[in-house]
Structure 1
Amino acid sequence: MSQPPDNLPVYRLLTGPDDTAFCHRVSAALALGYVLHGSPALAFDGQRIIAAQAIVWPPETNSSSD
């Protein structure tokens, strides 16, 4: 598949509290075919830890040989 499903963007930054729901969102994106882009980031908002993870849709690769 050359484009993400459901008109999703090629680049996405997933953010949210660092909890099970956030991990499930990242896992669901990986299951669709996205790949991680860089390391996750964490911040503290005064009450909880907020996580961010960039994901990208991998470019289509041509494996044809000439």
Structure 2
Amino acid sequence: MHDVDQPLRYRLITGPDDAEFCARVSGLLERGYRLHGSPALTFDGERVIAAQALVLGPGD
């Protein structure tokens, strides 16, 4: 069980590829997360959906 006061070490952010998605990723970067791998994109028949993994902590 995850303690809600403790940040997750790994996050996978998904959603429509729009300004809100970018703001969510940017907000996590400002809180100490770093990108983990490349983003993934798919098309759901109406819009582009993005996914980006982020990890908390220092880089390699």
TM-score with structure 1 setting the length: 0.77
Give, in whole Å, the separation in 2 of the partners of 1:52 and 1:58: 20
Aligned residues: 54
The alignment status of 1:22 with 2:21, answered yes or no, reads yes
Q: If each structure's helix is expressed as a fraction of its own residues, which one has the higher value?
A: 1
Alignment-derived partner of residue 63 in structure 1: none
Alignment-derived partner of residue 49 in structure 2: 50
Runs of 4+ in structure 1 off by over 2 angstroms are none
Give ranges in structure 1 of 5+ residues lacking alignment: 1-5, 60-66
TM-score with structure 2 setting the length: 0.85
CA displacement, residues 7-55 of structure 1 (integer Å, 9 cap, x when unaligned)? 2210000000000000000000000000000000000011100000000
Alignment-derived partner of residue 34 in structure 1: 33
Which of these two proteins has the greater Rg computed from alpha carbons? 1
Give, in whole Å, the separation in 2 of the partners of 1:48 and 1:22: 13
